[in-house]
Amino acid sequence: MGAKTRTDTIAAPSTGDAKTAKSNKITVVRDVESLRVHTRAWRKNGETIGLIPTMGALHEGHLSLVQAALRDCDRAIATIFVNPAQFAPTEDFEAYPRDEADDIAKLDRMKTDLLFAPDVAEMYADGFSTSVTVSGITAGLCGASRPHFFGGVATVVNKLFMQSLPDRAYFGEKDYQQLQVIRRMVRDLDIPVQVVGVPTVREKDGLAMSSRNWYLTPEERATAPLLHQTLQETAAAVAAGEACADAIARGRATLDKAGFARIDYLAICDAETLAPLDIVDRPARALVAAVLGSTRLIDNIPVPPRP
Ligand code: AMP
């Protein structure tokens, strides 16, 4: 371990039978060198590692990813890094919700093995000049209104993979385009990580859980579940054979009328390539992004098979 190493909580890397040898407290590390001390020891011991990348402000959606990793792997590493490279200057990087103490408590309760929470300087050293670009699948949907976004995501996820060398990595279907972009990147670059998609966790009224839901006023929060309802109606209509353009026009009108300030997209796409469809004749996904007040919300669901 070099002088630069920073480990907040605890302990030499625990090894042995992972199921019995877990330490009581989560280990928090902030630099790559300390992270590798732990992952090297686990790997040497034949233990598998699951990685859960997040931007913090953890809710039950994030925790379902942790749960899946703990179920499948001997060791689970959560990461918290609010990645400046995936925010445009006009977006909410500074204002993005952060509550690390609460996040650590939640991860600790779940018996997550380790939290990697680097600062910006640790991830982007002076002179950082490399980026990972995934083409095609990033052109539409969120890529159209946030052109910087997927480059930032692909680069940082690649770094997290290289830093921790996990066996599996867990991503939410809530960010469906991101999940497909990462799958594409892993295939294209022969990255030896199994990407696991985890279903979206929702509030009782159907709103997809999101750290950005914190921004909503009570009135906006009452309107927000309409996104999921509109997705369900649109998906049901196209599954029944309606042309996608007609069902989408109706869905957009519903959101417009409810007061959404901007609809970035409401789309029916091929479930893998995310190419827009005219009619549904293969596995498909209904996806939406819309702004409520000043909060941009996204959601998606599978289009059910034809009745
Ligand atoms: P974020 O912190 O927003 O970058 O999200 C970190 C990971 O948690 C991503 O893989 C997201 O897709 C996933 N995630 C966020 N919200 C949910 C949710 N409601 N259900 C399942 N996964 C989620």
Q: From the alpha carbon of 55, which atom of ligand 1 is closest? A: 2
A 10 A CB-CB count for 194 gives 14
Measuring CA to CA, which residue among 196, 175, 183 is closest to residue 154?
A: 183
Residues 262-293: pLDDT tens digits? Answer: 999 999 999 999 999 999 999 999 999 999 99
**Single-letter amino acid code for the residue at 95:** A
pLDDT band of residue 306 (cuts 50, 70, 90) is confident
Question: Of the given ranges (7-11, 146-150, 274-278), which has the lowest mean pLDDT?
Answer: 7-11
Best probe residue, ligand 1, of 58, 100, 142, 174 (max atoms within 8 Å of C-beta) = 174
**Cβ atoms of residues 161 and 169 within 8 Å:** yes
**Single-letter amino acid code for the residue at 60:** E
Question: Tokens representing 146?
Answer: 């946030």
Q: DSSP code of 303?
A: P
Residues with CB under 6 A from ligand 1: 54-55, 61-62, 64-65, 171-172, 174-175, 198, 200-201, 208-211
Residues 204-233: pLDDT tens digits? Answer: 999 999 999 999 999 999 999 999 999 999
> Would 27-198 and 211-302 be classified into the same CATH topology?
no
Phi, psi of 259 (to 5 degrees): 100, 10
Strands of the sheet with 284-292, listed across from one edge: 262-270, 284-292, 295-302
Whether residue 148 lies in the annotated active site: no
211-302: CATH superfamily: Pantoate-beta-alanine ligase, C-terminal domain (3.30.1300.10)
The pLDDT assigned to 23 comes to 53
The pLDDT assigned to 92 comes to 87
CATH architecture of 27-198: 3-Layer(aba) Sandwich (3.40)
**Single-letter amino acid code for the residue at 239:** A
Chain mean pLDDT for the chain: 93
What are the boundaries of each domain within the chain? 27-198, 211-302
